[in-house]
Amino acid sequence: MKKPVSRVAVVGTGTVGASWTALYLARGLDVVASDPSPGAEAKLRHYVDTAWKALRIIGVSPKGSPEHLSFTTDPSRAVAAVDFVQESAPEEIDLKTQLFAELDAAAPADSIIASSSASLTMSAIQAKCVHPERCVIAHPINPPHLVPLVEVVGGRNTSPSTIQRTIAFYSVLGRKPIHVRKELIGHVANRLQAALYRELAYLIEQEVLNVTDADAAVCWGPGLRWGVMGPNMLFHLNAGEGGIHHFMEHFARAISACWSDLGHPELTRELQQTIINGLMEEVGSQSLEKLVRDRDQLILGLLRLRRKLGGLPKTSRKSLSSDAPGRGKQGTRRRRR
């Protein structure tokens, strides 16, 4: 008898783990969170409270509630009776390898264990697992409760079924999962960001632009379009009636010429300090909290428009099914007053 995924564990509740927690709660799931850091539970609940305002704008499931959050400092206890595990511990390979071995030993055999790792490969992380076939990378773009993209990457021993189930799970939650078919350092999104940032750093180093103008060149130019369509589709539109065929015929040479002229800077201490100084001048008197609020409000506005135009999947309470029977609940749940 198949049953939907209804209970999720979030292991590691820093910024990314806390954001995942808020998303899962908003989608009507029960969440058991775990983090050994002092004060982690209080910080997590504060994050969820803050994020809930934005999540209400996007849309909260009728069953969605911060009340469905429980907490334990023991990761093995957190995963003992869940259908899906989202690991978001620090990016240290030895730590993650050992943690995954512990989670694999404690979690139900049919549950998926997903890592939010931004740079490590699942083949390395799953090395000590008895059931590596159910382990997978599910890397978000921060903050995942707002940004829909999830990069799903299997390891050497990850089963195709795990990939399919993971993609289905995130799709039901209104995310935009993509299947990254080969393991690479940084997956895809971070590599794209790194490629763009390399050229920005080069332009700053060569004094072509200052930091403020470099940011403006991205967010007020191509960045606006990238928030609407990907570069391949945009080139298809830019070329007019001939579409991508016309683009490749007439502009491929120009693109190649730019590629051969791109810079190869090193982030020396001097260049780092130049960027730091320029960024602090761009920030001015604005607090980090204000900048985060501004970022989130702009993302929310774009998401509302994209949903209105059908650019994002709608969320559903139908969820990924597994063969597991119903399971009891655990962890310490604190009712909010």
Alpha-carbon distance 201 to 220, whole Å? 18
Instruction: Give yes or no: residues 93 and 146 share one domain.
Output: yes
Domain region containing 9: 3-188+313-333
pLDDT class of 118 with cuts at 50, 70, 90: very high
Q: Is the pLDDT of residue 116 over 60?
A: yes
Same domain as 23, residue 40? yes
d(CA 117, CA 89): 8
Residue 95 to residue 41: CA distance in whole angstroms: 21
Please state, in angstroms and rounded to a whole number, the distance separating the CA atoms of residues 272 and 268: 6
Q: How far apart are CA 295 and CA 301, in angstroms?
A: 10
Task: Kindly state the helix (H) or strand (E) to which residue 254 belongs, with its residue range.
Answer: helix 243-261
317 pLDDT above the threshold of 60:
no
* CATH value at residue 160: 3.40.50.720
In sequence order, the β-bridge partners of residue 4 are 321
Q: Do 221 and 294 belong to one domain?
A: yes
The number of distinct structural domains making up the chain is 2
Residues 76 and 140 in one domain: yes
Are both 132 and 255 inside the same structural domain? no
Given this model, what pLDDT does residue 133 score?
98
Give the residue with greater pLDDT, 26 vs 322: 26
Residues 292 and 324 reside in one and the same domain: no
- In CATH, what number is assigned to the domain containing residue 251? 1.10.1040.10
Is 144 or 309 the better-scoring residue by pLDDT? 144
pLDDT exceeds 90 at position 324: no
Residue 170, φ and ψ in degrees, nearest 5: -70, -35
pLDDT in tens, 280-299: 999 999 999 999 999 999 99
Whether residues 161 and 26 fall in one domain: yes
At 203-217, the pLDDT tens digits run: 999 999 999 999 999
Same domain, 50 and 165: yes
Query: Tokens 């029960």 identify what position?
Result: 30
Q: What is the pLDDT of residue 2?
A: 47
Same domain, 143 and 204: no
What pTM value is reported for the model? 0.88
pLDDT at 152: 98
Are residues 116 and 248 both part of a single domain?
A: no
pLDDT per position as a tens digit, 137-185: 999 999 999 999 999 999 999 999 999 999 999 999 999 999 999 999 9
Query: What sign results for the dihedral spanned by CA atoms 114, 13, 94, 98?
Result: negative
Residue 104 exposed, middle or buried by CB count within 10 Å (0-12, 13-18, 19+): buried
The label of the residue with tokens 């939907």 reads: 4
User: Is 143 found in the same domain as 128?
Assistant: yes
Residues 94 and 108 in one domain: yes
How confident is residue 306, by pLDDT bands cut at 50, 70 and 90?
Answer: confident
pLDDT band of residue 309 (cuts 50, 70, 90) is confident
